[in-house]
Amino acid sequence: MDPSYPPSATARRAAAIARHLAGLSPRDAAAVAAALEPSACLSYAPPESSEPAPAFSPLELRSLLDGHHLRERDWAFRAMEESPLFCQRRSGGKVFVSPDYNEGKEGQREATMRRVGYLARRGVFRGWLTEPGPDAELCKLALLECLGMYDHSLAIKIGVHFFLWGSAIKFLGTKRHHDKWLSDTENYVIKGCFSMTELGHGSNVRGIETVATYDIKTREFVINTPCESAQKYWIGGAANHATHTIVFAQLHINGRNEGVHAFVAQIRDEHENVMPNIQIADCGHKIGLNGVDNGRIWFNNIRVPRENLLNLVADVLPDGQYVSTIDDPDQRFAAFLSPLTLGRVNIAVNAVYISKVGVAIAVRYALSRRAFSVTPDGPEMLLLDYPSHQRRLLPLLAKACLMSSAGNFMKRMYVKRTPELNKSIHIYSSALKATLTWQNMTTLQECREACGGQGLKTENRIGIFKAEFDVQSTFEGDNNVLMQQVSKALYAEFLTAKRKNQPFKGLGLEHLNGPCPVIPDYLTSGTLRSSSFQMDLLCLRERDLLKRFTTEVSNYLAQGESREKALMLSYQLAEDLARAFTERTILQIFLEDEKNIPTGSLKDILGLLRSLYVMVCIDESASFLRYGCLSRENVAAARKEVMTLCSELRPHALAIVSSFGIPDAFLSPLAFDWIEANARSSGNE
């Protein structure tokens, strides 16, 4: 009641209300009394209490999705959960781990280094550079994936040190480099970074301007930053912690430029003082990833010994003679870029795991949060019971599962690599790095929105992940540039096969050797879910786009354009072709995994996930309709099938996200008792 009313007015109003209530019938009076009683508050019910028991073995699905080293993954998770360095905090009766993103830039950086030191003492990095064999490589990839689910800065800090600096020493260097630096790198006696990107050149590594000139008299390389655009830029680890770096520079000998080569240079001494003739500056605060000390480096004619040239591919003899095991300059340049391949593999796989975290949180929330009711006075519905909410989240779930298989495929190919596979590894890693990181950002945005205002809270992870992982779209290869490289590679494969009159072999292009698939005029639900139809459709689109792309490039060439200009002008078809190649690749890989699963409930679930993935590809891409692969009626049928598949997948959503194997502590309060987490007694700010 308005306190400004005078007491006499208040008394008169109270008396009037009393007389009104006194005149009610007993039935009406009871109804009014009931209406004045406080309503029962919403209460949290864990999804496990109402969702059906899993129809399949979540452990079997986890084994398929993780692919390898489950025991080692769980050990790494426990190692982080056990240390207060990982910011343990209680919320809603559970303990969660997450970095403190409210710390300043310097605080986040030092916290990252303390965590790296702890993990080193726990033996997490043991054998990462010194233990040979594919299994050891897969193990360290598995452990890095777990660290990345805790914090992107932690994963990048470790990734730069081991997978860029360390891999360059290991795979571009020879015994003299291995003996001098590998053991100290693994034990963090030295801290490495990777100086490739410059202010003026990122994707165009051939165009970098840093120069390394060989001095025959002293048998040293003189490394110089000749202009501001040549400063090394965005170098992770450089601003605060790195003691050594790999410098990519144009090698000049006797006035001749031999192209880009890699050199080892010390940038800080054992007391963390910057070395003479080197200048380092901070790149500053970023929209995310502030636990990594990105820096800028200038070299003022620093001198490094001749032996510091990483010489597996090419060497300079004491008398200045340049020798190389690879005669072709293009192939030699590609060999120097090989460390980036592992970086792209890591980025792509890490993106899938972050998508899994986001989807797991959003699905669990949607299985406990209710809103509105279908009938008057009826109970409010769970968010995930709304068909529109299913359409928002369950396709993301399907994509995360299929992209897990693609990531495992890429890792297995990389650890068993041979020189003959280098080209394929480059193409697959480029296509999947771009596609999986783009999908991660799409997933995080949709999951953030699906969680409403709760998705904005840093403690609930999804919102902050958007800023933390945005960088994945541009570092170690701008996604758009990488996809153009994929199309150019497919164009080259097409021309080579036609010129030599040989069948296509590799990259999954063997389907081009057979007859053109025929798509039925009318698609039923059964046909749409058929794996053979799905492969035929995606192969048909890829085949058609490859021919269109080569024809368009040929037309520009006939008009007198250069090959590079013709490829640039055909960028629209190039984008569609690269997407078609990647989506067909992901489907083909998943089908191979699905084929190895015996008939039963898990295989049925995999079929639902696969079919939903393909139907969503049709629904989200205009290329099927644009190029005539499907009629408007069939595209509409696929769109309708998406809704049906979502409803069939809905009862299995909790079991699928549970099979991701992510410990509760690495999700967020929103995935569990979000009411208790926001209670007045919780102390959250």
Higher pLDDT: 222 or 27? It is 222
At 30, is the pLDDT very low, low, confident or very high (cuts 50, 70, 90)? low
Q: What is the pLDDT of residue 169?
A: 96
Handedness of CA 501, 507, 512, 513 (dihedral sign): positive
Q: What is the pLDDT of residue 39?
A: 55
555: Cβ contacts below 8 Å, ≥ 6 apart: none
Least confident interval from 328-337, 360-369, 600-609, 662-671: 328-337
Domain range 87-325, CATH architecture: Beta Barrel (2.40)
Q: What is the pLDDT of residue 419?
A: 84
Handedness of CA 492, 495, 496, 502 (dihedral sign): positive
- Checking if the pLDDT of 466 tops 50, the result is yes
Q: What is the pLDDT of residue 15?
A: 54
Distance CA 665, CA 669 (A): 9
Dump pLDDT digits (tens) for 595-619.
999 999 999 999 999 999 999 999 9
CB 677 within 8 A of CB 669: yes
Q: What is the pLDDT of residue 4?
A: 45
Dump pLDDT digits (tens) for 491-519.
999 999 999 999 999 999 999 999 999 99
- Mean pLDDT (whole number) for 21-33: 56
- Checking if the pLDDT of 5 tops 90, the result is no
Place of tokens 């993780």: 66
Q: What is the 3-state secondary structure (H, E, C) of 455-514?
A: HHCHHHCHHHHHHHHHHHHCCCCCHHHHHHHHHHHHHHHHHHHHHHCCCCCCCCHHHHHC
End-to-end CA distance of the chain: 32
At 3, is the pLDDT very low, low, confident or very high (cuts 50, 70, 90)? very low
Annotated binding residues, written as ranges, equal 197, 236
Distance CA 494, CA 489 (A): 9
- Mean pLDDT (whole number) for 368-375: 91
**β strands within 225-357, DSSP E:** 232-236, 244-253, 256-266, 278-282, 294-299, 302-305, 314-316, 322-324
Q: What is the pLDDT of residue 379?
A: 87
Helices 601-620 and 531-558: crossing angle, nearest 10°?
A: 30
In order of 144, 208, 259, 468, 613, the CA distances from 193 in angstroms are 17, 17, 21, 20, 39
Burial class (CB within 10 angstroms; exposed 0-12, middle 13-18, buried 19+) of 199: middle
- Checking if the pLDDT of 35 tops 80, the result is no
Annotated binding residues for FAD, written as ranges, equal 197, 236
Structure tokens at 421: 């596979």
- Checking if the pLDDT of 680 tops 70, the result is yes
Q: What angle do CA 131, 133, 137 make, to 5 degrees?
A: 75
Amino acid at 632: R
Return the CATH fold of 337-503+511-666: Butyryl-CoA Dehydrogenase, subunit A; domain 3 (1.20.140)
pLDDT above 90 covers what percent of the chain? 84
- Mean pLDDT (whole number) for 385-393: 97
Q: What angle do CA 483, 236, 280 make, to 5 degrees?
A: 125
CB 193 within 8 A of CB 243: no
Distance CA 54, CA 600 (A): 13
Q: Which of 186, 209, 476, 583 is catalytic?
A: 476
The domain locations on the chain are: 8-38, 87-325, 337-503+511-666
Q: What is the pLDDT of residue 41?
A: 74
At 332, is the pLDDT very low, low, confident or very high (cuts 50, 70, 90)? confident
Distance CA 38, CA 588 (A): 58
Picking from 214, 205, 209, 436, the residue whose alpha carbon sits closest to that of residue 309 is: 214
At 1, is the pLDDT very low, low, confident or very high (cuts 50, 70, 90)? very low
Q: Name the average pLDDT for the chain.
A: 92
602: Cβ contacts below 8 Å, ≥ 6 apart: 56, 57, 60, 61
Q: What's the whole-model pTM score? A: 0.91
Residue 51 backbone class (left: φ over 0; alpha: ψ -120 to 50; beta: rest): beta
Dump pLDDT digits (tens) for 303-316.
999 999 999 999 99
Amino acid at 249: A
- Mean pLDDT (whole number) for 381-392: 96
476 is catalytic: yes
Distance CA 231, CA 209 (A): 9
- Checking if the pLDDT of 23 tops 70, the result is no
- Checking if the pLDDT of 462 tops 70, the result is yes
